[in-house]
């Protein structure tokens, strides 16, 4: 994972931004299998802002723990913009955090299609505004990464942290 190292790792920069904002985060991970939560907890003091992580690999887990609808999974499949959005919102709302971050994708080496090749991922970030403010929102980005399964998972996890940091700033 040192190939991603810079002066200050993204997990530390995100943690500092969350702490400075008095904000909290929860994660909902499918293809990354808990790696985002692991990166966040690599930072000393992360209990100040990291609430919990959901690893929802199956359709049933996405429905049961995050409230992703059966219809959305049926219509779009797990690796899709609507599912990632519902995952991020679900993590945020179930945990009662300021932010939710979600990943769903195809880490490979199998499972890809022409429409969604190996390395395809949807990263969603959801924000909880004050009640009645209308400020709550969510964003989703689609990415495609190359590499081995482990490399793809690492790239996705770090990209998710970068996306969350971008939203915070």
User: What was the pLDDT predicted at 66?
Assistant: 98
Instruction: Let me know if residue 29 belongs to a domain.
Output: yes
Instruction: Let me know if residue 52 belongs to a domain.
Output: yes
DSSP secondary structure letters along 28-62: EESTTTTHHHHHHHTSTTGGGTEEEEEE--SHHHH
Stretch 31-47: mean pLDDT:
97
Instruction: Let me know if residue 134 belongs to a domain.
Output: yes
User: What was the pLDDT predicted at 6?
Assistant: 55
Instruction: Let me know if residue 20 belongs to a domain.
Output: yes
Indicate if the pLDDT at residue 3 is higher than 60: no
Domain CATH number, residue 45: 3.90.950.20
Instruction: Let me know if residue 104 belongs to a domain.
Output: yes
The structural domain count of the chain equals 1
What token pair was written down for 16? 């500092």
Q: What is the pLDDT of residues 61-110, one digit of tens each?
A: 999 999 999 999 999 999 999 999 999 999 999 999 999 999 999 999 99
Indicate if the pLDDT at residue 17 is higher than 80: yes
Nearest to 66 by CA among 28, 103, 38, 106: 28
Instruction: Let me know if residue 123 belongs to a domain.
Output: yes
Instruction: Let me know if residue 1 belongs to a domain.
Output: no
Quote the CA–CA distance of 135 and 52 in Å, as a whole number.
23
Domain that holds residue 41: 6-168
Instruction: Let me know if residue 51 belongs to a domain.
Output: yes
């Amino acid at each position: 994972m040192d190939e991603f190292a810079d002066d200050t790792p993204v997990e530390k920069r995100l943690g500092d931004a969350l702490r400075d904002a008095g904000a909290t985060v929860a994660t909902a991970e499918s293809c990354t299998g808990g790696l985002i939560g692991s990166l966040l907890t690599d930072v000393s003091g992360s209990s100040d802002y990291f609430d919990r992580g959901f690893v929802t690999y199956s359709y049933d887990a996405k429905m049961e723990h995050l409230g992703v609808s059966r219809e959305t999974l049926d219509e779009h499949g797990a690796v899709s913009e609507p599912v990632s959005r519902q995952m991020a919102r679900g993590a945020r709302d179930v945990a009662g955090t300021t932010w939710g971050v979600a990943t769903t994708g195809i880490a490979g080496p199998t499972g890809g299609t022409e429409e969604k090749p190996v390395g395809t991922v949807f990263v969603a970030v959801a924000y909880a505004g004050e009640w009645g403010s209308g400020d709550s929102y969510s964003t989703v980005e689609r990415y495609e990464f190359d590499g081995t399964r482990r490399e793809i998972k690492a790239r996705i996890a770090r990209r998710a942290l970068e996306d969350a940091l971008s939203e915070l700033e």
